[in-house]
Amino acid sequence: MLALKKKSVKSAFEALIPKIMEEGTEMITEDGQKCKEIMNTIIEINDPSDKSISEKYPLGERAVKSYTEQLLHGSAATFVYDYHERIFEYPNDKKELKNDQIEYIVNKLKEQINSRRAVAITWNPYIDQTVKDVPCLQIVQFLVRDNKLYQTVLFRSNDAFLAFHANAIGLIALGEMVAEKLGIELVKYTHHSVSMHVYFERDSDALKKF
């Protein structure tokens, strides 16, 4: 287990990668790639408004903006899943019915400010148990305490080097959307990955920055 408390996603990213490279356990993934992994990594970001991007993040600002745009507004491309659809248009097994989970979250917190039910999920067993590409992000939950918004996300699996930076900033933007609808401030973002990992062979050249 690894727990990090940092001001920003940038500082968390720059601390996370060396930790995994030094302390991670080598394993071979389901699709045959070598990685170093730390199970149950929890990262607390205490100033989610700081969206600065690390110079060591190989995909840069463009990837962060692209992920954020697709998360909040969707993509024209056709995938087995995309996070916007799963969060804003959660489908039934035949995709005949859709559920806007963010609308539910906002309404729930307006009705009951102390609710612990302001939860959005992405996994759909009717779809995801039988396909190759499945969501890494699983749960997004919000709590309001002392009239401030707290956001927690759970990933079943997270590519620390190529995905975490963009994932976290994009999800914070989602949290800020919820905060704006509630008229309060997002003050803390907590990112939990059951498997946080680095593909040290695939990304060996880019990892030299660390």
Mean pLDDT for 149-178 is 99
Which pLDDT score, from 0 to 100, does residue 153 have?
99
Mean pLDDT for 59-67 is 96
Mean pLDDT for 185-203 is 98
Calculate the CA 65 to chain-centre distance. Answer: 14
Which pLDDT score, from 0 to 100, does residue 168 have?
99
User: Is the pLDDT score of 79 beyond 60?
Assistant: no
pLDDT digits (tens, 9 = 90+) for 125-147: 999 999 999 999 999 999 999 99
3-state secondary structure of 195: strand
Mean pLDDT of the chain: 95
User: Is the pLDDT score of 76 beyond 60?
Assistant: yes
Which pTM value belongs to this model?
Answer: 0.95
Q: Which domains does the chain have, with CATH numbers?
A: 2-209 (3.30.572.10)
Query: How does 111-148 read in b/e, with b if 16+ C-beta sit within 10 Å?
Result: eeeeeeebebbbebeebbeeeeebbbbbebbbbbeeee
The model's confidence at residue 165, banded by pLDDT at 50, 70 and 90, is very high
Catalytic residue numbers read: 136
Which pLDDT score, from 0 to 100, does residue 81 have?
66
DSSP strands (E only) in the chain: 2-6, 25-28, 34-45, 90-91, 98-99, 119-121, 137-145, 148-155, 158-159, 185-198
